[in-house]
Amino acid sequence: MAKQSCLIVLSASPLGVSAPSFLQCYKLTQSAFNIEIATPEATPPVFIDKDDQSSRWLNDIAAKNLLEPRSLSEVQGGQYSCVVVPHSPGASEDLASCKVLGKILTHCLAERKPVCAIGLGVCALLSAVKGEPPQWAFRDIALTGTKQRKMIRRHNKLATDYKSFLSSTHLPGNVLLLQKL
């Protein structure tokens, strides 16, 4: 039986994609799926948080030409069984507002295909809007995620304090459920 395909979506922002998160996603999905990687405009991703082991894995994957991304504009949501977005601080800059990715995610929802977004890769889900007036496509979907307190503490590169985190243009307050620190 032929393997189904999985789309791994990576940010092309200079803020980068977590190398450990990408590699965990890649390793977990490669045994069950044919993997395709896509970024906005097929721009090569910037990997952050690399150590010796992740650098070796990335070099090995790149040597096999498996790390050359497709452009999201070339991707048809129907050709994939699932979509995965690894932890990526850069997702808040490019994937959160990517209309093409929004269409892919909305298609996955309509077809009841799994979507997995990890860490700050969850920002990519903000791109999915539907209806008139436009509404967030995941608004009626049960999601699990990190508490804001943990996100603020872990990602002080993006937000130096609670107020700047909540006022971020990349994370609209009406999507976040606010909680008292």
Which tens digits make up the pLDDT trace of 107-143? 999 999 999 999 899 999 999 999 889 889 988 887 7
Per-residue b or e along 50-68, where b marks 16 or more CB atoms closer than 10 Å to that residue's CB: beeebeebbeebeeeeebe
Contact criterion met (CB below 8 Å) for 9 and 84: yes
Burial 105-126 (b: 16+ CB within 10 A, else e): bbbbbeeebebbbbbbbbbbbb
Tokens of 55: 């650098």
130 bridge partner residues: 135
Tell me the three state secondary structure of residue 132. Answer: coil
Rounded to the nearest 10 degrees, the angle between the axes of helix 19-30 and helix 52-63 is 50
CA dist 33 → 28, 68, 144 (Å): 9, 17, 24
Distance from C-alpha of 46 to C-alpha of 33, rounded to nearest angstrom? 24
d(CA 164, CA 122): 19
Average pLDDT, integer, range 72-80: 90
pTM of the model: 0.81
Q: Which residue intervals of 16-51 are DSSP H helices?
A: 19-30
Q: Where are the alpha helices (DSSP H) in 31-133?
A: 52-63, 99-110
Per-residue pLDDT at 176: 41
Give residue-wise pLDDT tens across range 1-55.
678 999 999 999 999 999 999 999 999 999 999 999 999 999 999 999 999 999 9
